Structure formats: C-alpha cells, structure tokens
Structure 1
Amino acid sequence: MGTVRFVSEHRPLTVWKRLQYELAPYAALANRSRGRFTPEPESPTRSAFQRDRDRVLHSAAFRRLMHKTQVFVSHEGDHYRTRLTHSLEVAQIARAISRTLGLDEDLTEALALAHDLGHTPFGHAGEHMLDQCMRGYGGFDHNAQALRIVTRLERRYAAFDGLNLTWETLEGLVKHNGPIADSDGTPAGPYAQSGLPVAISDFAGAFELALDTYASGEAQVAAIADDIAYNAHDIDDGLRAGLFDVIDLGDVPLAGEALSEVLKSCPGLERPRLVHETVRRVISTMIGDVVAETGRRLRQADPASVEDIRALDMPVVAFSAQLAEKNRVLQGFLRRRMYRHERVLAIMKRAQRVIRDLYEAYTEDPAAMPQEWRRDLDSLGDDKRARRVCDFIAGMTDRYALAEHRRLFDLDPLFR
C-alpha cells in the first residue's frame, strides 16, 4: 500500500503520528481509518484510536462495569473479579501482545475495554434470562448490545448519539471472534442458527462492517486476551471462593504444570503467593504461545496490510494446536468445578429470577421505570417497547437490579 508519510514543512510530526512508523505493515493505521459514522475533525494531539479508547473509558456504560459481576454476585466479597477489573486485565494482556506483534496498541486497548459493555447484571445467567424474555422480540446478545450502547444508547455528545467510534473499533466489537456472515449475507458463526441480532444487521447496513471477513489483528488480539484473562483469573477466583483447592489443579493442563514449577522452584511458599505465582505463570505461558503461533502464521501468510489480515480464511492470532487442547481441558475443569458448582448454580438461578421479575414488572407497568426511559413509550410498537425495557435492565448493575427488585417486590430473592 506504499509508504505512509506525514512529513510537513509547516507542522512537526505529533507523537502519535511518529509512532505509526514503528508499527508492522499489517497493523491498523489510525491515519488510514475508514472514519466515523458522523464525520469529525481530527484531533491534533490524539490518534483516532486513542480517542476511541478515551471515549470508552469515560462512558457511563464502562463505569457501570464496576458493579457487574461475572461468576460471583457482589455480596460474596470485594476481591472477586467484576466486569470492570476483568476488562482492565484483558486490556493489559492485549496491549502486551499487541506491542510484541507490532500492532496498534490503542485500537487493541479500545476493543479490550469495550468488549464487555453489553453484558447484563449477574453475568451470563442474566444474559440467558434476558434472552428468554426477549425471545419474541429478537432476543438478547451481549455483543449486539455493546454495539447498541456505543452507537445509540450513550447520550453524551451534542452532535450524535453513542460514542461515534471509528469503523475499525466497531468492526472489532462486532466480529472479534471471526466472521458472522457468509459472502452472500447468510448469518454464520454464533448466529448461524439464531440469525443476526437486529442491532448488528441494522447498523452494519448503514455503516458497512464487512461481516463476512475477519477483523483486524488488533481485534483478534483483544479476543484472545479475553480468553487468557478468563481462564487464569477464574482459577484465582475459584480458589479464593473454595470451590476447589490447589491440589485439585495437579492434573489439569496449564494450571498443573505451572503449579508444579512453582512448588519446585519455591518450596514452602504460603498459599496466597503459591496461587499468584501459579496464575501468573499460566498467563505468561499462554501469552508466549500466542506470540509464537501468531508469528508463525504471519510468516506463512506474509500480510502486507491490515486488509490482507481481513482477507485470510483463518484467524492470524491464535493458540498453537497443543496449547488450544490444554486450554480446552482447563476450561472443562473450570466448567465442572466452578461454573456448574452447586453454590454458583443456586445463586445464578435466583439472580435469573430477579431479571425475569423485573422484565415482567416493567412490561406490565412502564411507569415503574424512571421518567427518561418512559419517554414516548406509548408511541412505540410492541417490539420497540420491549427493547426499551431490555435496554434498561441490561444497563443495570447487580446492586441496582437487586435494589429495584426489593423496591418493586419487597423481598430479596438472593437470600430467601
């Protein structure tokens, strides 16, 4: 695509523009962004991707992640991961990988920080229940909800709804796990059976997101960093909660190998340090494998631009086959011993009841919602009225959902 030049006899290069020279040829270049849905003047001090990252960080939806949980409801303790701490950990891992591969760290970080914006209260249990409630109105999908938040629901700027993020960030949000449609537009991947969520199909039609191709390397890095953070830190949270013990990790790939290494090199280490040293080695092993395997794939594909990355018939950022198998076994262990633990299932079942009760209450009596959510509700059709209720509930934190349930029903379903 030629050499990128920023030299001007009238104006010196800004720092972010100078950094573009240091990126790999297959990186997404901020100065070559496909732009924003609503055109804006370029910032003199920040690249387009830096502005995206900053807008995500300052959004109300990002702040709410502080009180949205993944596996444990907030009353169980302050030391478990929330969506916010998880997103920050994903961003750190993603930046480390992106820097090593010569990709744009700011785009990678923007995607890492934004990837969980669409999650409901109470983790996947809340998402599953809200999807059931919305079954007759297009269902609910957290990736589609994230797109809805950054293109419509955030209302902060005078000139547009949403955050008006760049095409590259929106592309990464929608398809960081791979293509979601075939070349003829047929839904594929996770939407092959259910069809594309309306939020994705409508916006993609207005701002063509090339749903049939892979996303940039930066988006792929953010996606795999999410997997790394999930697995490693769920080990930590599971041990902290007493759902399994350190000794149970002995025969589990990745975790067992890391544990054995720590026991050998640091005998007699107290439990908190033992756990941390084990988890950090799991993270390091997975990052090292991703960098090595991605380097191998890059050498094989020899992409000359980000468009070459998108045109490949497989992801360029990936685990090796050997580590992918170890990761599969580790995920199976966590599924059995943590996600399906009777204690976790019991609390999630009651959390789902909160979501169901709130949805039914607001649907039957919209006046129970705050004024800004009731505005013009009578003029909407049934599907849009249901989506308004869905948006309101999806944006709640765990504690706000519980407070609303107590207000409406005068009981606390998590403890009765």
Structure 2
Amino acid sequence: MKLLTEKNLEAEIAIDKKMLTLAEGRTTPPEDMTIAPFDGNPNKEQAASIIKLLFGVVPKYDPELSKRLCMSNWTGDPLSDVAILKIRRRGDEPHQIIEQFLEGGIDAVENPPPELEAIWKDVSEDPEWLDWDKLELGAKAYRGYGVYGFQFQGIATLDGYRSRNIARTLMSTGQYSDETAFKRFLLTCNFWTEVSETGGMRTFGDGWKVALRVRLLHTLIRRAVFSSERWEPDVFGMPINQLGLLGAPVISSLVMGVSSRKLGWKLSDEEIEGIMHLWRYVSHVMGYDNSVVPFPETIEEGRHLFYQLLLQTKLSDDPDGIRLCKSFMDCFEPPKEFKGLEKFKRWWEYKANLAMTLLFVSPETRKVAEIRAGKFWGIVYFIITVPMNIIRSKRRLKNPAYAEKLDKKISKERREWVEKQLGEADLVYRPKSKY
C-alpha cells in the first residue's frame, strides 16, 4: 500500500468521501471501543491499581465522559483532512504545499482551500486560554527529564500498541517495527525536543513547525490506512483519531509528571500542570478539538480523565501490536559494531528500559511481548537513579542559578543524544508502508 497511490480515480474519491463522513450518524463507538458496564469491565482492577499507584485515590467512573472518549474514535482531523485531500485532488503536490505553508504561512499558498485558511487562523493566533508563562514553565520542567523523558514516553506506549487501532496505523507507516524502529523513535524524540525548547511553540518556531507538519502529514497516513484492506472502519473507527490526539499528550504530561515522582523527581504541582499546558497547546496545533473532551488543566482533572481512558482501552494479542512491542525493546540492544563506551551506554539504556517496564508496563503486556524484565535490573536501576534524581531535584528547587545551569546542560545533552544518531537528512517524516 503506497501512500495515496491513484488506481481508479472514481473509487479513490469514493474512499475520500467515506473517510470524511465516517462519524456522521454514529450513535455507538467502534466495536474495539465498546463500553462495558462498569461492574463487568475487564479493565476495572488493573485501571484502579494503576491510578492508585500514581495518585493514591481512584476517581469515580464517569459513563458520560467514557462514551464521549470512545465516540471520538470516529473522528480524525476534519480541517486538515478536507484541506489536504482537496489539495491532492486538484493535482497539487501535498508535501510541497505543506512546506510552503510551514515556511510562509497562508500567504505563501496560492489559492488555499478554506479549510487550510481555518487551520492558519487556529495556529497563528493565540487561543484565549493560552498562558505563555505557564507553557514555558512546563517546557522547562519537561526539558529537565532529558533522555529519561524519551525513554519513559517510549516505554509508556507499549500497552497502547496492543490497541488494534493504534497498532495497524503504526504498522502502515513501516517505521515503527523491525530494523527501522530505533530511527523512528529518534524522530519522535526530535519532535519532543523541538516542542519543548524555549520559544519552540511560538508561531514559526521549530516546535510549532514540526507539530504542524505532523498534523498535516497525518492526513496522508490516515487516508492511506483507511483505504487498506486490513482496515475495518466499523471495528477500528478512524486512524489517528481524536482520542489518540488527546491520550498521547496526557501520557507525555500528566502521567510522566506523576510517575517521575516515584523515581525521585521533585516536580511541583505547578510544574506538572505547566507541562500539561504545554501539551494542551501542542495538541491544539496538531488538530485536537478541545470541544470534544476538554484537555485537562489540573492534576485532578487529568486523573479523572486518565482513569476513564484506562477503563475503555481494549488490549488485544494482535500480532501487529506484539511485533511493535518487541521491535521497540529490541531496538535498544547495542549494535554489534559498537565498541567500548558507546556500547556500554547503549547497553545501559537497554537495561534501563527493561527496568522501567517493571514499573510502567502491565504484566500482561510484558508476558505476551516476551519482555524479560528481570527484577534484578529493576532494583539496580532504582538504586542508581532515584538518589541521584532526589539530590538533583532538591538542589534545583533551592538554587535558581543551579536550576538554570542544569536546564542548559540537560537541554544540550538530550539534543546531542538525538543528533548524534540522526543525520540532518533523517529529520524528516517520510511514511512508507510495510504492508
């Protein structure tokens, strides 16, 4: 399946229409997101266990919110989807138009579709809720995780890979499994780096550009996956849907912020909510519709939302999901050509990932993906990292000068970590199917 390869134009236009109208008239979620009665929900015990571990308190089940979350699986990004498909159908090259749009704004695009003009208005004008001071506070706290933040966000996706909607979508790009998995992870790390640099999310900032580029390219992925024979809309809903555009930022902000406290990071509630504010804006630029389910602004709101997400996530033993899990873990094993210090660093990163799966991946996923995360490495990782994180965090909170110096040091280290392993030419999102 090549991305948007034309076969029969009439048939292709019919697929466009089916995708763009998928959510119309729907009253129940896709089959893979069927809402189970709370008492019979198979995820109930595990969801409560995770929430209690992270927050200490389990919120109440919210059936109305749960249904809205599940129903959001029917919708992609209506503005981007219509805009990019219109550009495609009139014979223009979408990638060329996207680059013009990113570099020069709407004025750089000749005869832009109204939907592209609407996107420009959304992403070039500050939403009334946006607080730049709060966002930059969150960006600084987020940068402070350094390479650990990359590892956590990668590990935290493993349970999600067992959602068939997510697994089939990611497999379609051909960049998340097997020999390409590590490079694709590095591209995502570059995205996380750019959106959290100082000023990165300002209009035409590098983070703003990469977030907007991914948003527009998501339409090409969405359309390609939707037309695949392996995609069943009534079962899976829409590829790269509104639920995903909400869930991933919640994990990258709230869940990572609270989880990191278990490993010695001393982030204040204000800093965690700042990270949430950063990701609220990133998700806005990437096409999340806040009117569907409001993005949480406080830890309490996030806890309530995350609990409902855990309850409604249906995990499977689908081969695509298992392959993605295995590929992610295997890609950190040191290549045979690595020697000396480089080999040791990659070896430690691999062992650190194994250790983190004990804390942040469900036992069932570890079992089906055959992740051999020995408790020994979990203990070693805990003993080495927690005291260091506690000492550094306490010093950061007490000494502003040290905090500034640490921010610059970690920011430089994480960027060098990415760039050392990726050439400039690699920092481009080029989806290519493995189906």
**Larger of the two Rg values belongs to structure:** 1
Q: Pick the structure with more helix per residue.
A: 2
TM-score, normalised to structure 2's length? 0.33
TM-score, normalised to structure 1's length? 0.34
Higher relative contact order (CA 8 A, sep 6+): 2
